Every structure is written in structure tokens, then in C-alpha cells.
A and B are shown apart, each in its own frame.
Chain A
Amino acid sequence: MNHDFSRLPELIERHGRSPESLIMILQEIQREYRYLPCEALMQTAEALGVPLSRVFSAATFYNVFSLNPKGEKVIRVCVGTACHIRGAKLIQDQLENFLNIKAGNTSEDMKYTLEVVACVGACAMAPVVTVNEKYHGSVNPGRVKKLLKDK
């Protein structure tokens, strides 16, 4: 994949060029490119003066970081306890079926990424699905399809 890395130095600067800022910098990069391109990780290691292995271990340890490109719409099914008890598994099943991808994957046309997360902190409205940053509460099987069309 081709990326414009011209903004990268700015992203790295944003939290100060110190090893302490590594995770925040990775967050910025992920926001910009929707994943962590290899090239960006190498530049980060160099800019912070830390071994590339340390950058990679952080990039693989934390759940939010992805080394593979994500789709335009990131759909997250909450499978936290409150949602689990109220049928999150069924919602996950249905989404996997409609999108024809398993949770954790991105559709071939790069339109959708389906993820599961353990609690998005809106448990009173379980089960919850988020589409990009938008929350949908009390999701029932009948609403799943509509949710995908929704902005």
C-alpha cells in the first residue's frame, strides 16, 4: 500500500520525541493511517532512538494496534459481560454472517472491519455495537442489517 508519510515527523513530534511517548505516537499513527505501516514504525524507532524491536513489541502487545490495514467502517461488537449476558454472541454471529468475515478481519473490498471488544462502557444499553465512533445500544437481531447501512 502506498502512503504519504510527509506528516509522519509531525505526528511523532506531537507528544515529544522521547521513548515515553511511544504509545501515544503509535496511537497518532494508527489514527492517521488506520493501522501501523511498517515504514512508520521504522521511522518512529529511529526518531525516538529506541530499538525497532521495542516498537514492534508495543505494537503487538496492545489490542488497539493493528499491523494490517483496517476497513473504512470499523464495526465493534461489544462482548463485555453485560453485553454477553444480553446476547452479544448472537449479534456477533449475525454480523459475521452478513459481512461474510470473521471477527478480527477486514472485508476484501476494504469496506468493513469487524472487531470484538470487551466493554465500551455503555453497559446499561447492552448489547452495544459501535460503528466507527458512533454507539448503538439495545441492538437486537432485527436491527443488525440496518445498522450496517446507517452512517
Chain B
Amino acid sequence: MRTIFGGERRTGSWPRPRELLILSALLALGAVGSGALPRRADAAAAPVQLLNVSYDPTRELYEQVNAAFARSWKQRTGQEVTIKQSHGGSGKQARAVLDGLQADVVTLALAYDVDAIARAGLAPADWQRRLPHNAAPYTSTIVFLVRQGNPKAIKDWPDLVKPGVSVITPSPKTSGGARWNYLAAWGWAAQRGGDAAARDYVKRLYKNVPVLDSGARGATTTFVERGIGDVLIAWENEALLAVEKLGPGKLEVVVPSASILAEPPVSVVDKVVDRRGTRAAAQAYLEFLYTEEGQEIAARNHYRPRSAEAARRHPFPKVTLFTIDQAFGGWQKAQAAHFNDGGIFDQIYAPGS
């Protein structure tokens, strides 16, 4: 029997070289064609992948957000979407994006870090006005974590500078989270007695800090595992998570009378989504964070939701909150005055001071 390739059919034997050649040519043509042609015909069906570059403690939050968003996006558009996550220190993550990590969206700890991405031309300068609430879909604040029974009776900021109280907080020079801690302390003291009082207060506070860890998770480890210090200054969501993970009966959360409104911002990375053609999905992903479903997930992960309804379902303790814009005139100013080299934090540790 003759085959279509003109050879004799040899049952059970390997295809001949000529047959292989023709077959592979056909396959190659098919591959080229499918790559070039049908893209427009069924764009919705082609799966899309997003990369969310985030900071350390949001891992659990975004695992849940990603699953929920993929479901909702599939329902709305019929398109499969998978979201990859990358986590690390906020500043380190921003540098990775600056150095070419192809992030479709960034969800970082500080607007200052997203500003750096915008300054490099990867996003517009007004990125923070593109989404509601300063582009921060959920918030948190800075609270204290103390040991069970609160042996040093720590109730509010003045208790942290008492002699004999040991305070754990990471270095604001290396940790974005620690900058929120520092600014919360400064802002509280400045409201009371102005900048001079704040400077004095912060200086006394850091005198009580025996160890400056390089990151927030390291500081939590120092406090919880090594048993060092009487109080850990921490993000509320991290403090609540630590209590939840370690089981009640070991740690207590103390909410001070006033603290800073921590607004971790999110942004599309325009240059990347335009190049990859993922803008629609990336945009929808961030907007999803503002939906009732997204807000519910944030609240369940101990972030304060923006939505009043989610806030009613998950009540957070009352605390007077000030924003970085009110108290410091924005991140750029705060960073320059306090944390850049030669800034106030360095002066605290200058020789002879």
C-alpha cells in the first residue's frame, strides 16, 4: 500500500527521514500561523499572566486576592488569568522593577518606593491620583505588641521612653515598615509639642532600642522568638497576624491613642503593561481590590478596609489617625528630612550626641 508520502507503509517501523522532514515543516508552519493569526479573533480566550511585585507581609493577602480575582475576571471576560507574586523588602522590590523586573503591577509599602519607579519613567508622575484613596485600597496603622499581661504596663507612646523599657523596631534606614514606625512616633510627639519635642522624644525612644534589625520580619523574630525587648512597634496587620499565628495567651496588641495612617499604595507599571499588552487585566486587578469582595479579603487579613460595609463586619479598634501628607507634607519630604544620609535619624546617632 502506498502512503501519502509516496513510500511503502511499513507497519510498526519508524517514520522515514523524508516523512519526518515534511511533518516537522507542517508543524512549524502551524506554530508560526497560530502565533500570528488568531490573536485578534479570540483574544479573550488567550490566557494572560500578571506579575504582582509586592512587599514581604502581603503574601497571604494576595494569594487570596489572586484566586478571587481570577474567578471574577473569568466570569466577566472568559479569559484565564494567572497572577504570579514576588515578595521582598519594599525598597528592594522597587529596585528590582527599576532594574528590569517585568512587574505588571506593584503593591508596595511606601509611596516613596513607587515614586522612584515613576521617576524612572515606568509610570506617570501622578500615579497616586489614578485610583481612589491615594491609590491605597486598604490601610493599616502602627501599634504596639507586648508580652502577655503587659508586664511593663505599656499603654501609649510616653511609656516607650521610660527608663528600663526595651523597644524593638527595625532600622528605618533599611526597612520601609520601620519608617512608618518612626513617623508614627514623631507625628504623635509633634502634635503635642512641635518639632523640637518630637526630636527629643524620638531620640529618647531610639536610646531604648537595643537592636536595629534590617527588616520588619527580623524584628518580629527578635521580639517573639528571641524574647528580646518589652514592646515591638509593628504594623497592626503584622501584630494581629503574630497573635493569631502564635496562639492567644503569649502576646497582646496595644493600640496607642494616636498613630499614623499607613497607606500601602498600588500602581500599574505602565511601561510594562503596554509592552506586554496586559493593561486591561492589570487595571482590573487593582480595581478589584476596591470591590466589596476585595475589601472583605483585605479585612480578613487584618488590613483596615476602605469600604464602610467591610469595616462594619470586621471592626478595628478606634485610634486617632494622621496621614503622612498632613504631618510631614508627603513621602518625599519625610524621606529627605528624616531618613536620607545626614537626616534627623542619622543625627540621632551622630558621634557625641
Decide whether A and B are members of one complex: no
State the B residues within 8 Å of A (CB): none
